[in-house]
Amino acid sequence: MRYRALSDVRVVDLTHFIAGPYATKLLADMGADVVKVEPPWGDGGRKLGPHRAGVEERGGLFAFLNLNKRGVTINLKHERGHELLVTLLDGSDLLIENFAPGTLDALGLAPEDLIAKFPRLSVISISNFGQDGVERDGKLNDLVLFARGGWTFPVGEPGREPLTPPGSLAQYVAALYGAIAAMQALAARDLGLGHGQHIDVSILEATVATMIYETVTFQYSGIVRGRAGKRFAVGPFLIVTLKCKDGYAGLHCVTDKQFEGLCDLIGRRELASDPRFNTALNRMLNNEAILEIVEAFFIGRERKWLYREGQRRAIPLVPIPSVAEVLEWEQTRARNYFETIDDPVLGKIRVPGTPLRLTSHRGEASRPAPRLGEHNREIFSARLGLSDAEIETLKTAGTI
């Protein structure tokens, strides 16, 4: 789904893999004119899994992360390629990139020079550790990022190794900070506070930014949170993942009222006034005891029953769905959340829609992710005024 709210915003997208492309996807879904610039051999992210059997050239994630963008190929190491990119930047509002720091400078595209040349342009750099600092050039992957950024330490069984979160969640968080930074650059410029700027977003800092439970709480309390097994933490609440008859359910019981509701649900209303559990503090001190009682009840019930009966008592209690169930969930269906894309390589796929529902514009169907160099002709001839002969020459030279 896309809205044409940002249709006057021109973005040159030099990003690859996940953090950069999700940032530019957010802008593209809001209607920005995003031109994805890849080297002639393609964004490495094209081959990220998951794969449809027998199709190696384009993974599913690429098809999702690059919806609503147009794609061109340019070899930035060729002199003529360098010129093409600079021409493309003329009249653009944003250059967004997630190369290793220093890469743009080495390509003769130092952000400060570009901004001096095109004062309306802002450059958004998303990188693992930021553009400076003592370990700017270190290596990183998802496992090590989660560990270093503090997400991993408090998760898992107390007697076992800490458990990493799944997938690339923190990369997406960083992408959001990048997309917001892009809008901040536009706002500052349009409010007359100056020309374009070079904004620096560190993926590690974005990861740490979402750990306020840890970093600030331990300073206040002096207690470093450890692993609490199936519980979120040991506290004046019961936030826990519980085994039931046909899978797992997630319970979030925090307030007095929710605890009273929980006691009612398990048919033990007297527990609400039990001196072990009658205040938040007592529920923290006797957390194991409550957990035991609740566990024993949940194991004999089905998820659906727990969900219905829990919610009826205003307890945030949900079944824990698999991704297959998320895809079929009647709530996402009723809200037409997933969008079916007719991808030129992968065929029909269902992808998450845009979470932002603007009322100023009507949502339109998304455009599939571009094939490698799909819009070379369109962009190079219509926007940059190159002749067919020139385009052929560039192709032969391997510049595009």
Determine if 304 is a binding residue for another protein (CB under 8 A).
no
Cα Rg, the chain, nearest whole Å:
25
Indicate which single residue of 56, 134, 270, 300 sits in contact with another protein (rule: CB under 8 A).
134
Instruction: Indicate the pairing of strand 10-14 with strand 33-38.
Output: parallel
From the list 38-46, 102-110, 312-320, 370-378, the region that binds another protein by CB under 8 A is 312-320
Q: Count Cα atoms within 13 angstroms, Cβ side, for 49.
A: 5
> How many chain residues interact with another protein (CB under 8 A)?
149
Instruction: Please state, as a whole number, how many other Cβ atoms lie within 10 Å of the Cβ of residue 190.
Output: 10
Q: What residues between 267 and 286 interact with another protein by CB under 8 A?
A: 279-281
**Least separation in angstroms between CB 396 and another protein:** 34
Among 267, 300, 355, 385, binds another protein (CB under 8 A): 355
Tell me the one-letter amino acid at 196.
G
Residue 56 burial by CB count (10 A; 0-12/13-18/19+): exposed, middle or buried?
A: exposed
Q: In this complex, which beta carbon is closest to another protein, that of residue 78 or of residue 305?
A: 305
75-78: Cβ within 8 A, 24+ apart: 75/39, 75/40, 75/398, 75/399, 75/400, 76/39, 76/107, 76/109, 77/107, 78/397, 78/398, 78/399
Please say whether the beta carbons of 87 and 117 come within 8 A.
no
Q: CA–CA separation, 171 vs 207, rounded Å?
A: 8
- Do the Cβ atoms of 227 and 155 come closer than 8 Å? yes
Is the Cβ of residue 337 or residue 395 nearer to another protein in the bound state? 337
Residue 319: cis peptide before it, omega within 30 degrees of 0? no
Each residue 218-257 as x (binds another protein by CB under 8 A) or -, in order, gives: xxxx--xxx---x-x---x--xxx-x----x-x-x-xxxx
Binders of another protein in range 51-110 (CB under 8 A): 51-53, 60-61, 63-65
Among 56, 267, 270, 334, binds another protein (CB under 8 A): 334
Which one of residues 72, 186, 265, 369 is an interface residue with another protein (CB under 8 A)? 186
Residues 16-45 that bind another protein (CB under 8 A): 22, 26, 30
Q: Which of 44, 311, 397, 398 binds another protein (CB under 8 A)?
A: 311
Here's the x/- map for another protein, 140-169, by CB under 8 A: it reads as: xx-xxxxxxxxxxxxxxx--xxxxxxxxxx
Complex with another protein: residue 63 or 386, whichever CB lies closer: 63
